[in-house]
Structure 1
């Protein structure tokens, strides 16, 4: 008897925005899809800082991958960690020693923190990329205030209430502002011996302005708004030392109760898996159809890929860009299966750049149209609610924000352990 040919096997590594979008687009198609992720959940990373700042609970920005994809009967979800890729043998190696064969591979493994050659700083300055990171930062942040309440020495108490955020990109700005609001608007009155108004939030940035990806006019507005919230911003001030109790910037030591990292990222080790060249951030330079040079059956998308636009600039590492790349990769795969002409080269559609500065204001750059203040915050909020998965989560987040802005109360201020 003639053996029955197996369906085309697509393996997707990573269930972030790009990987999940590719999987959904291939759902209920005549392909056998396997999604691998080392976590069992998809997380909405743009709102991680609100979990870290106790404004949202983890269940409101994260969803089990299996549940998100359960209606697609051709998709199998595996919670596992990838150890490497055998491009010649067309298999994915897992850390448990097993291998998964593929006909087409989609690598969407995202990025992690980059400490610019000082990986030892990671233990002193945690970054914000995962739910675990957000919970760890929240635990440490709230525990420091508890420790300061018990501290009799004023100098030591002030040191504990000093928070340093390294990096003034979107994550750094948003995290710093939410810490400042937590300390100065929502926690006063909760403590008997601690004046949380005295908390210092310091942002240290090596560049000459905050949010350097935005136009200078919006960057200036952001700086003014941050200072109005009580955030101290040190520009042109690269960090040269980082310790458990503070940082050194321009030979000036800043003692702190907590230091958080938001200064840079590096791509996952996909380039090492494939033994191909990468840029300084570890991103794989892909073809215009998002495939790896010499490997047309391997797509790399999202933060792991270096994709050049028509103007020569790289596609930004944003959630909408990753989703567009996931959709495009799925379209190319389907065109190949059905022997249709492949779509044209990937084209990134820029729907704007958005960042919030505290709970009342934001900046939005649509190119010719630029918004700031409360109108920009409304656009930012609607955009983020739209991209959340499920009606329940959209409703819960909207109600949480409404309650927070009307009453100034954060419901997620729970410490699970006493470790600081």
Structure 2
């Protein structure tokens, strides 16, 4: 879909997702690293736990569908080479601190002199203006400031964050969207533009429910944990339950919401002698969790269900639950997701050959599927400077002798 376009990717870990998505959509994305490799290559985990900048699984995951070159854009010679690339490119994506590109003479206005139609997408923690614009930030900082961390975790424990840097991933997706919008606008108007993405803003949209609840009702959304608390008594029932080989999710709904699932589960439990008299005699359509005392729920319903689930595996509960119309679902770890039969049959996973490792690695496939295969994971992540010769010699017509001299000087 984006095959006519070339994107220059200057991002660090804050923006790597942007180039990956654009590359999956067909753009020619060139990842530009400093000589010796990008710092993101030092982020683990590593292939077979071998700490090596060429074996970072984090790097592998976020740099598929890209070519890669090395270039020090802060040197005079490096700037000139970068400007040559800009002349034959459609967009630049960068994640330096606000103003840094201007300071080194490669800001939006300077690049427009080389290519008046160029699009520059800048990804920063807080945007180009405002009292926080010069602050540095990590993923956990942005989680905390967005309000999302506050609503994640158990109500009686401190807030949590997801282990992977979700703020950077969301900002990368926003940046890819903004870049495509700018390309479309240029196609209509002939004008390039500067696109700004604030990672904090990207995260605030993820937490919008909490914000709108405060705006509309002056109510603060609290951490629910892995349980549902139902008014007016505040009776609590689990959402996450232990089973024989892991965890499952099961919602114990009252009224019509549970009118099919709850009786079906009761019959299933009764076949194994685990359904209580209270469960067997319950009129589930009239069951009101929020008006049932906690002790009664725990003793007659929650504890028997918990014992039942612990007797079965995820697969047993999932497949038999579907057959019986019981709303119980497996909570997969990475292995469970990888082995899921539905994803396999849908060919969600793709194998990419890593010839330097003499091995292939399984990756998530394209984020959308189309009949014409407009989106696909096209190749593995590049090695350090893997495409230097291809791009510098064949496309920019820089001689091999010049390249050797530039390499010795630490420019490429």
**What TM-score results when the alignment is normalised by the length of structure 2?**
0.30
Whose Rg is larger? 2
Larger helix proportion of the pair: 2
**What TM-score results when the alignment is normalised by the length of structure 1?**
0.29
Larger strand proportion of the pair: 1
